[in-house]
Amino acid sequence: MTEVVIAGIGQTSVGEHWDTSLRELAFSAIEGAIKDAGGLRPQILIVGNMLAPILSKQAHLGGYVADFCGLTGIEAISIEAAGASGGAALRQGYLAVTSGMVDAALVIGVEKFTDMVGSDIETALSTSSDNDFESVHGLTLTAQAALLMCRYMHEFDVPRDGFAGFPLVAHTNGARNKNAMFQKAIKPETYIKASMISEPVNMFDAAPYADGAAAVVLTRCELLPEDFPHPLVRIASSATASDTMALHDRHQPLVFSAVRLSVERALVHAGLAREQINLFEYHDAFSIFAALSLEASGFADVGQGWTFARDKTIAQNGKLPCATFGGLKARGNPGGATGVYQAVEATLQLRGQAGSNQVSFANVAMIQSLGGPAATAVTHILTKIG
């Protein structure tokens, strides 16, 4: 199997892009990625997107994006896995290149939340849950996170401000990321006083949904241009796993089994040990997801994930830096684009191009994209070459 390297990366800022359509947003990131890759032309385009068919009344995004970006004629498809759509699209790009079937793959994650406003967005998001037995009861994704957080705090005696460290660290890092939606650090007092969205999830426990597009070009080493200007970054491994669709069907609701499985598979495939991971871009759509991801990924013991926030283990200079560019909480949560933003950010870290967000000795990065409360988990491990 062929080694897959990241030839180019591109991203738009994450925010409310009222003036920009779905097409234009995608093009912006794609243009950046192809230029960064020295003009390398892909044979396949994979679009990661969650909700365009509902929010923009636009499906069939493979053809849609390829057409607008001047790539008509190439293989183009769209991949959906709820919030993990970006990670899942990246995996498809990886499979295409590692199989040797294509020379270069272009992966684009794009989402436009602002094509609708208000309760229609919550309704669209609830398509990530089991419609017949979860959404019909008025359950939102935020309410699902709240059910997990309520039970977790009860079982493990977590104080009311136990999760504050997650948004605090995210915002501190986001403040240095010019593409982040929120570029302002927050104070601990702000967390305690924040209003509830779905008790106990408050405004700072939930990442903001926003528009954004991020793209990567994947290829094999020999096809990189002679004068390729960047340190080489490879996708060392890639793994996807699934869990029961509905939260109520979980064997142990507080254990993200799909995360555990995908991490185990990714580590084995990369031939790496957990201790070798220098930074972790987790799917902090909600602070409880960050805690549960740290546990299921094997970094924290069960019931201890929240202490990584309390003790600032996840800070830029901590033992396991997370959300290094702000994470979903501060960089923003552009739905299906998120997984690809994580790949772009991890690549910047491994290339040493992360500026004031740079994590020291960044050689191995783990990125992880979740669909729903981890009914789907996609984990990638990226490493620096040489």
In this chain, which of 56, 135, 313, 342 binds other proteins, going by CB under 8 A? 135
Q: How far is the CB of 133 from other proteins (least distance, A)?
A: 5
Piece of the chain touching other proteins by CB under 8 A; list 139-147, 181-189, 309-317, 332-340: 139-147
CB closer to other proteins out of 78 and 202 = 202
CA gap 52, 101 in Å, rounded: 29
Piece of the chain touching other proteins by CB under 8 A; list 4-12, 126-134, 308-316, 367-375: 126-134
> Is 253 among the residues that bind other proteins (CB under 8 A)?
yes
Piece of the chain touching other proteins by CB under 8 A; list 32-40, 52-60, 82-90, 127-135: 127-135
What sign for the dihedral angle of Cα 238, 240, 241, 247? positive
In this chain, which of 37, 246, 292, 300 binds other proteins, going by CB under 8 A? 246
Nearest to 298 by CA among 261, 343, 247, 251: 261
In this chain, which of 2, 142, 276, 363 binds other proteins, going by CB under 8 A? 142
CA gap 122, 181 in Å, rounded: 20
269 alpha carbon, distance to own chain's centre: 21
> Is 117 among the residues that bind other proteins (CB under 8 A)?
no
> Is 193 among the residues that bind other proteins (CB under 8 A)?
no
CA gap 19, 288 in Å, rounded: 33
H or E stretch at 77: strand 75-79
> Is 354 among the residues that bind other proteins (CB under 8 A)?
no
Residue given tokens 């896995």 in the structure block: 81
Q: How far is the CB of 48 from other proteins (least distance, A)?
A: 24
CB closer to other proteins out of 123 and 353 = 123
Piece of the chain touching other proteins by CB under 8 A; list 14-22, 44-52, 141-149, 375-383: 141-149
> Is 275 among the residues that bind other proteins (CB under 8 A)?
no
Which burial class, exposed, middle or buried, applies to 259 when counting CB atoms under 10 A from its CB (0-12, 13-18, 19+)?
Answer: buried
Piece of the chain touching other proteins by CB under 8 A; list 17-25, 113-121, 208-216, 366-374: 113-121
> Is 248 among the residues that bind other proteins (CB under 8 A)?
yes
User: Which tokens is 157 given?
Assistant: 């005696």
> Is 24 among the residues that bind other proteins (CB under 8 A)?
no
Q: How far is the CB of 251 from other proteins (least distance, A)?
A: 8
> Is 202 among the residues that bind other proteins (CB under 8 A)?
no
Determine how many CB atoms are found less than 10 A away from the CB of residue 358: 16
User: Which tokens is 340 given?
Assistant: 């690809």
CB closer to other proteins out of 135 and 316 = 135
CB under 8 Å to 135, separation ≥6 — which residues? 126, 127, 129
> Is 35 among the residues that bind other proteins (CB under 8 A)?
no
What sign for the dihedral angle of Cα 324, 330, 331, 336? positive
Q: Assess contact for 262 and 377: CB atoms under 8 A.
A: yes
Q: Is the peptide bond before 200 cis (omega within 30 degrees of 0)?
A: yes
> Is 3 among the residues that bind other proteins (CB under 8 A)?
no
Considering just the CA atoms, what is the radius of gyration of the chain in Å? 19
CA gap 85, 375 in Å, rounded: 12
Q: Which of residues 148-177 bind other proteins (CB under 8 A)?
A: 148, 150-151, 154
> Is 123 among the residues that bind other proteins (CB under 8 A)?
yes
φ and ψ at 137, to 5 degrees?
A: -90, 10
User: Which tokens is 42 given?
Assistant: 């892909």
CB closer to other proteins out of 32 and 335 = 335
Residues that bind other proteins (CB under 8 A): 118-120, 122-123, 125-126, 132-140, 142-143, 146-148, 150-151, 154, 196-201, 244, 246-249, 253
